[in-house]
Amino acid sequence: MLEKAGAEVLAERERIAARVRDELVAAGLPVVASGLNPVLSQGVEVNVDPFDDDGVSVGWRSSPRLESCVLRAVKLNLLDDPAFEHQRVVLEAMLAAITAILVSAGFTVRDSLNDYAPFTLEVPAGPGGSPSWGLREEELTVPGRPAGADGASAGGSES
């Protein structure tokens, strides 16, 4: 029987998931909003597994139209329908792009071992520190006011 992960583990997974979403949005990818009707959603889907074995999973949701074509082909047993192959190519390309973006940002990313969730990635660990797109100290300095005038040191940015 699967047991739920502890509160600290879940909090870390939520931190990683939020950071994954932020990094992918910063790269220009759409992210599926939690609770959005699947008929309207497309883009990166990030989920936190509350059980001990998985963690943070990331997948790609193609447009509702492409998914509808694939489901129609499945329902009608049209195994040679071009939507199948196109969907596979789309999923592989998007997961490769997502992997490259997240690895560049400092995440640990691997293919999912979950047979029930093909075409997904697992993100067991994420970076600490500030993201590459985060505000820089010089962006926070008020023109005409000397650096450190508020008591903060001028060179103490988090990395």
| Whether the model pTM is above 0.85 | no
> What pLDDT does 4 receive?
81
Cα separation, 148 vs 71, whole angstroms: 60
Confidence at residue 158, expressed as pLDDT on a 0 to 100 scale: 42
What is the predicted pLDDT for the residue at 23?
Answer: 96
* 38 domain-assigned: yes
Q: Is residue 80 one of the residues assigned to a domain?
A: yes
Q: How far apart are CA 52 and CA 43, in angstroms?
A: 27
Q: Which two tokens stand for residue 148?
A: 């450190």
Burial (Cβ within 10 Å: 0-12, 13-18, ≥19) of residue 98: buried
pLDDT in tens, 109-126: 999 988 888 899 999 999
The amino acid that residue 45 corresponds to is E
pLDDT digits (tens, 9 = 90+) for 51-75: 766 689 999 999 999 999 999 999 9
pLDDT for res 3: 78
Asked if the structure places residue 158 within a domain, the reply is no
Number of domains observed in the structure of the chain: 1
pLDDT of residue 132: 87
> Which residues of the chain are under the pLDDT cut of 50?
152-159
Q: Judge whether 150 lies within some domain.
A: no
- How far is it, in rounded angstroms, from Cα 27 to Cα 20? 11
Residue 1 lies in a domain: no
Query: Would you say residue 149 lies in a domain?
Result: no
pLDDT of residue 52: 62
73 burial type by CB count under 10 A (0-12 exposed, 13-18 middle, 19+ buried):
middle
Paired strand residues for 57:
47, 122
Rounded to whole angstroms, how far apart are CA atoms 30 and 21?
Answer: 9
- For residue 34, is it within any domain? yes
112 lies in which domain range? Answer: 7-140
Q: Considering the domain boundaries, does residue 148 fall inside one?
A: no
CA–CA separation, 102 and 93 (whole Å): 14
